Amino acid sequence: MSHRKMLLALSLVLILCGLFNSTCCETERRSKWNIYPVSSWKMSPVHHNIEAGNKAFAYKLFETLLMEHPRKNIIFSPLSISTSLAMLSLGTRSTTLTNLLKGLGFDLKVMRVWDMHHGFQTIVQMLKQLNREGHLKYRNMLFIDSNRKINTPFLWDTERIYDVKAQMIGFRDVRKTKKQINHFVATKMHKGTKGFIISLNPHTFLFVINYVFFKGIWKMAFHTNFMHKEDFFVDECTTVRVDMMWKKERMIYSRSENLFTTMVKMPFIGNMSIVLMLPDVGQPDSSVEEMVVQRATLLKSSGMRWVHIIMPKFKISSKINLKKMLPKMGISNVFTTAANFSGITEENFPAIFEVSRCEPLPRGIWIQLLRVSGDSPAVGASVPTTVPGAETQPVSPQAIHAATMEVSEEGKTDMVSSNAIPSHTHTAAPFVVKFNRPFFLFVEDWMTQRAILMGKVFNPIAE
């Protein structure tokens, strides 16, 4: 008999695409990165600096999003964003490099660049391990114009450090190229993913896709026969009716009187789990850093408790304008025409970020494309004035990160009889935690406690 599956489905894509108007590169030379084996790096004294940098970036981005969108649902993957930006930094130089790494939480005065990249190498390997276990789909894709060349060390480093192998493709034949990329993405990414790209510039030089797809299966399902409509109090003036699900289960439970917050942690099958944080009624949002510190305390000091948990089914989406958000975090140079991408090509040319159009993914999941493009052809570049099939619709400078998360009641183990708590285990009544107002969530790897995604459910029925 097959198990009932899939409580939580997350699909997220951050795409860093297209260095346009490319030039030829110099003769091949060996990569300068000296990356130690990951197992030895784990014992390195820089380990905590790497983790601290990633956490600081995640906290700051989350706080920025909460300030910008206090009345909206938020969901994003800090690891996906930071990994993509770190990979892009392989091709940056001078102030563009230092500005980007500083914004990611790394100081080149106390840390070598290759230490930072090696830290992300371990993150990529961790994500690949989750991928092999079937809990997470993670992949980077790199497409390069077959009529152009880029610096060979950049290719070596992206493949060796970030596990990205370039696919050579001819961007000038737009119709054929779109078909090839859409087919490649559909076979590697998710069944039913069609029409991934509907707009493509014929002068694209480099096209990078980074995505995470997460399907979580509760270790213990919620009750399927007792779901009912209840009020969810969005704020003092707004109440919505939502499908509430419930179960009684032994889980990690903690109460923070300092933050006026109740926290629970529930496992998925495998090494993934979710931490839910519920502020008390009328309490303002605590700082993200304080919440994460308390989350760490929860994991260290709290024990298993019987909890009667009541929470809504929900499906939330976020579209984050990174070009608007990242400069507020100090990352600004890479979004200007002064950006230095000489690590990718020896030719210096202006670069801006643009958005290309794309089709929605299945299950209401959609993607936006982030493209790095040149204002003018590089020296010696042959650029046709017209290309059959080329898109001509203008686009505004943007950098978009999009994610959708859906939570339902189903899980691995049925809840037909699990509502009865064995009397011999304890005599106290279970803690009751009811998520009927805005709350925060952190989906993490159980072993490393790295947050794969973070979010806030402000209104469960507002996608």
**CATH for 287:** 2.30.39.10
Percentage, residues of the chain above pLDDT 70: 66
- Note whether 202 and 249 are same-domain residues: no
- What pLDDT is stored for residue 353 in this prediction? 47
252-291 pLDDT, tens digit each:
998 888 888 899 999 888 788 899 999 988 877 666 767 7
- Note whether 138 and 186 are same-domain residues: yes
- Note whether 37 and 84 are same-domain residues: yes
Q: What residues make up the domain containing 22?
A: 8-216+316-404
What is the reported pTM? 0.78
- Note whether 306 and 323 are same-domain residues: no
CA atoms within 13 A on the CB side of 234: 15
- Note whether 448 and 425 are same-domain residues: yes
- Note whether 396 and 356 are same-domain residues: yes
- What pLDDT is stored for residue 276 in this prediction? 94
Domain of residue 165, CATH code: 3.30.497.10
- Total structural domains in the chain? 2
pLDDT above 90 for 310: yes
At which of 360, 379, 404 does a domain end?
404
Asked if residue 211 is part of any domain, the answer here is yes
- Note whether 156 and 52 are same-domain residues: yes
Q: Which of 138-142, 217-221, 395-399 has the lowest mean pLDDT?
A: 395-399
- Note whether 174 and 89 are same-domain residues: yes
Report the range out of 26-40, 74-88, 333-347, 421-435 with the highest average pLDDT. Answer: 74-88
235-252 pLDDT, tens digit each:
989 999 999 999 999 999
- Note whether 388 and 420 are same-domain residues: no
